[in-house]
Amino acid sequence: MLIIDVRSGESIDKALKRYKRKSINTRVIRELRSRREFTKPSVKRRKETLKAIYRENKMRNED
């Protein structure tokens, strides 16, 4: 659970912005989405290799 202390004189908008930034940095939302459904280990491996190939091709094209 994320806890955000509202500072004295701080608006709620700024506190919400800090909360959103903190939740993105801790990857809470990404974890919740990944737990919605089960993915087989073979599918996870395939996705990881495809991501690695994509990143490598992108790095080659930038040079």
Q: Tens digits of per-residue pLDDT, 11-40?
A: 999 999 999 999 888 888 888 888 999 999
Between residues 49 and 31, which one has the greater pLDDT? 49
Asked if the model's pLDDT at residue 43 lies above 90, the reply is yes
d(C-alpha 18, C-alpha 59), whole Å: 33
Asked if the model's pLDDT at residue 53 lies above 90, the reply is yes
Asked if the model's pLDDT at residue 1 lies above 90, the reply is no
Asked if the model's pLDDT at residue 2 lies above 90, the reply is no
- The pLDDT score that the predictor gives to residue 13 is 94
